[in-house]
Amino acid sequence: MKPFTLPQLSYAYDALEPFIDKDTMTIHHQRHHQAYVDNLNAALEQTNETNPDLDSLLQRISEYSPAVRNNGGGHFNHSLFWEILSPQPKTSPEGKLAEAITTTFGSLEDLKAEMKKAGLGQFGSGWVWLYVKFNGSIGVSATPNQDNPMMDVLLVNRGFPILGIDVWEHAYYLAYQNKRADYLDSFWSVLDWASVEKKYEEALSKIR
């Protein structure tokens, strides 16, 4: 089996300061994400998979062990998280995604408020998502642990994630302590909407 590997960041660990600090980024990437990659590879050694595709694996996650679910989700979720962050982000969406946000939520600020509400309402560790439903519309949801909307273990809120906010404490506690709300507000300052727009188009292409 070809093992999964830790993706390299396209920016330095201190590039997102003051919104996300260098120490958090370093530990989050080098230790937490690396552990998910290592544990996923180890868990897959116990299966018949020879060259697994991560997206396909997550969409059939009910067929696998909790170790594959937790670590496969951790690898996918963090990989997406790094990709949508930037020290020089596009600060607002345009085109089809902007239209979908306005249609669904009313405005970009209303979307941010909805995601903050979901993030604060997620008890314990988890993620908040903007995702493309299988019917092509968009929605907001929160998932526990390292679950995400692609997983077939979810009964509702399924689809393709295009924007995820990590609300595990390791994502923010060094700088924000227990102030998850402040972290959720700061996140938007380093979110690159150009990357989210690209993921939106990719998600739509999967359901056409």
Helix (H, G, I), strand (E, B) or coil at 94: coil
Strands 126-133 and 138-144: antiparallel
Q: What values do phi and psi take at 101, rounded to 5?
A: -65, -45
Strands 159-166 and 126-133: antiparallel
Going by the annotation, the residues of the binding site are: 28, 78, 166, 170
Q: How many CB atoms lie within 10 A of CB 24?
A: 20
CA 53 from chain center: how many Å?
17
Is the N-terminal amide bond of 18 cis, ω within 30° of 0? Answer: yes
Going by the annotation, the residues of the binding site for Mn(2+) are: 28, 78, 166, 170
